[in-house]
Amino acid sequence: MRSGVTERESQRSIMAATRTIGSAAWASACLASLGLGLGACHPDGKQAGRRAASKDAQALASAILADGSGEQPRTPSAPTPLAPAVVQTLRSLRDQRLEIAPPTVQSALLSFGTDRLVQATVDKVTFRDSKQGQVITEASIGAVRAVAHGPDGSLFAIGATGSARLEPRMKVAKHFPRVPFLPGSELLPDLEGPGHFFVYYSEDAQLYWYPFSSEISSILPIEASFHLEGCLEPIAQLRDNAIVCRTATGFLRQAPRGSRTEFNFPSSDDPLVRLLPGMRLDEFFAISKAGEVLQLRLAGNLAVVARFRLPGAVYAAAANTDTLAFVSMSSPQPGQPRRWSLRVTDFEGHARFETNLPATAPSADEDWLAAVVEDKNLAISVFEPLIAIGGAKRVTVWDYAQGRDLFTR
């Protein structure tokens, strides 16, 4: 979970590139075979002279199929290094041909509070000063599932073995019991008060309401639950605590304890990957995979207030009361490296801040997808004009109003 890539997300990424990789994998295996002196390849997959495929070519094919599957390959007792030609071919396939699909549920491993930033690392959360980056305190909670901020500026985190919360102006985090957090879950604050929070589980469309309790118990008890029938990913929490989500016929708006309203909206070949709250209580943004941004108003019939298009495909997105932020990626192109960028806009799409992001170059035997996206977590502050990009190993914070970076840790 540290990288925010689940088995399902990895499968989506590799399935998105099946057609391209299918032919490319065959061609690459042939290239590797030729490099090893095994003869020519034919369209039916046979080699001249009917010679057996080499171990290196088999390893290449296995690596391509395992790429993005989310499964950890079984380590052989005596692993054999891949031949240089195979390593180069595999790297070229990944960088120039494999599409990266944005995760169905965006990872939440960074969050801003009042003058604070929480960063998820391997088995703990680190609470930092949001402008200087100094560590205020840390909390060991096992593998971190998600982090969030409350309406009072507090920060909290859910881990595999426990949970922690840092209240405003405090310098020591308080621990509370473990919260079940299954794949596909999302951590949300209760905007009506700082004493509770929500966990949304998409598989059952259930919104679970938990208290911040210091009682000694192994698992934090659920105080209430709300069924969002027909709710599909993506979802967003609006400024009035209501949930808006995609449905089979359009959109649904439902308050945890309030009314439920459905809106018809036509589907598109360009699927929605993110929903974000607007400034108004009845508005939200819908972002497509290709980078189209729609500003929608939930009044009577669903209305499109405005739209604009981003220059690249969207991997992650976030919003505060007057600003949108996007992590975008270029499409894979033969002979060109994949490019990542951060773009901050106003609600009309006018750029307020832009910068390129460093690209990761995983080794041939790494989990390529996890390594490429592990430092692409995104957070924007609702308290200050700050934005953060990073992961467990590093985080960078910018002041987008002044157009400068504040620190990298």
391 close to 362: Cβ distance less than 8 angstroms: no
In this structure, what are the phi and psi dihedrals at residue 279, rounded to the nearest 5 degrees?
-75, -40
- Nearest Cα to Cα of residue 95 among 69, 67, 73: 67
For β-strands 243-246 and 232-237, DSSP reports them as antiparallel
* pLDDT tens track for 183-209: 989 999 999 989 999 999 999 999 999
Query: Is the pLDDT score of 116 beyond 70?
Result: yes
127 close to 168: Cβ distance less than 8 angstroms: no
- Residue 321 class from Cβ within 10 Å (0-12 exposed, 13-18 middle, 19+ buried)? exposed
Distance (Å, whole) CA 42 – CA 27: 10
Specify the range with the lowest mean pLDDT, choosing from 50-54, 298-302, 309-313: 50-54
303-309 β-sheet, strand order: 272-277, 283-288, 292-297, 303-309
Q: How many CA atoms lie within 13 Å of 289's alpha carbon, on the beta-carbon side?
A: 13
Going from the C-alpha of 253 to that of each of 148, 228, 281, 326, the distances in angstroms are 22, 9, 11, 24
Query: Is the pLDDT score of 4 beyond 60?
Result: no
Distance (Å, whole) CA 72 – CA 122: 17
Q: How many residues does the chain have?
A: 409
Q: Residue for token digits 């914070």? A: 397
Token pair in block for residue 352: 């307020």
Domains of the chain: 18-72+82-97 (no CATH), 113-227 (2.130.10.10)
Query: Is the pLDDT score of 3 beyond 70?
Result: no
Record the pTM: 0.76
* pLDDT tens track for 209-257: 999 987 777 899 999 999 999 999 999 999 999 999 999 999 999 999 8
Distance (Å, whole) CA 94 – CA 26: 14
For β-strands 185-189 and 324-329, DSSP reports them as unpaired
pLDDT reported for residue 330: 83
Token pair in block for residue 405: 């970076």
310 close to 291: Cβ distance less than 8 angstroms: yes
pLDDT reported for residue 257: 85
> Which residues are paired to 124 by β-bridges?
140
* pLDDT tens track for 11-49: 444 444 444 444 444 444 443 443 333 344 443 444 443
| Average pLDDT value for residue range 246-271 | 92
List Cβ neighbours of 78 (8 Å cut-off, separation of 6 or more). none
Token pair in block for residue 308: 């604009």
Distance (Å, whole) CA 131 – CA 381: 12
Distance (Å, whole) CA 57 – CA 61: 6
- The 8-class DSSP code of residue 153 comes to S
pLDDT reported for residue 80: 67
| Average pLDDT of the residues of the chain | 82
Distance (Å, whole) CA 206 – CA 198: 10
190 close to 237: Cβ distance less than 8 angstroms: no
